Amino acid sequence: MTRPFLPLLALLLFVIPFSPAHAETLTSEDTLQSGDLIRGESFASVYYLGEDGFRYVFPNEQTYFTWYTDYSEVRIISDEALSHIQIGGNITYKPGVKMVKFPSDPTVYAVSAGGTLNPIVSEDIARELYGANWNEYIDDLSESLLNTYTIGTPIELASQFDPTTEQAQSYSINSDKQLNAYTLIEITDEGYDSATITLQSGNTVRWLNTSSETKTATEWDRVWGSGTLNPSEHYTRMFTLPGVWHYYAMGADRNIFEGAIIVQ
């Protein structure tokens, strides 16, 4: 007979600055690739460079070590280059590696794709999933991270969740978050090279200033905008609301510097 799930002692959560042990020479932003781990010169925090062009935050070391075993692959870029890469959000635990709970709630969750927390309804199920030492596979998460996750379907049978399969399916942070490559629009001296594009909701666009002067990409009603982009600087935005977004370059001829993003 399945026993009721017993409350568990909270694990202490220490937020410790990341300290990659292998310092490297500075990496040029131009050589970075999706999936790279990056940090700035002056700050120890490590980020994941997503397929969509954003950098994603590891909120603590517990999260980092569900994805990586050490800091040997971290690439150091200049603080200025880091500031040009916008933050896309927090990284969640790698699915299947650990269970989690929050200090004020005895519920223990299994983590599945996209930061989904599935309540485990009994201790017996937790044991079936993670073995006799199942309680060693539980991390306490700060309640400040609760909004980073979503609550999914309760696990009432061990057959509903396979930790090994979950880990295999989320083989990278890109796959776990289902990130897609951004669409690039170059801002040239003659205008936007792809002035009108169509994309699906949830995809991103990057404007890269390849002109010889400062330029912008500014929504017609100034709902959003890049701010001033110096030559070689870029601005990335994710589009989630369907519709047509018209934009232009402030201070430039709108007959030339005008475009539209059609979101379906």
Two tokens, residue 57: 């935050």
Q: For residue 10, what pLDDT is reported?
A: 31
Specify the pTM.
0.84
pLDDT in tens, 41-75: 998 899 999 999 999 999 999 999 999 999 999 99
pLDDT in tens, 149-196: 999 999 999 999 999 999 999 999 999 999 999 999 999 999 999 989
What's the total number of domains in the chain?
Answer: 3
The answer to whether residues 52 and 183 touch, using CB atoms and an 8 Å cutoff, is no
Q: For residue 197, what pLDDT is reported?
A: 96
Average pLDDT over the chain reads 90
Distance separating alpha carbons of residues 99 and 123, to the nearest angstrom: 12
Q: For residue 6, what pLDDT is reported?
A: 37
Domain ranges, residue 161: 99-175
Q: Would you say residue 189 lies in a domain?
A: yes
Q: Would you say residue 116 lies in a domain?
A: yes
Quote the strand ranges of 130-242, DSSP E: 138-140, 150-151, 183-188, 191-192, 196-199, 203-209, 218-219, 234-239
Q: Would you say residue 14 lies in a domain?
A: no
Mean pLDDT of 219-236: 95
Tell me the CATH number at 246. 2.60.40.420
Q: What percent of the chain has pLDDT over 70?
A: 91
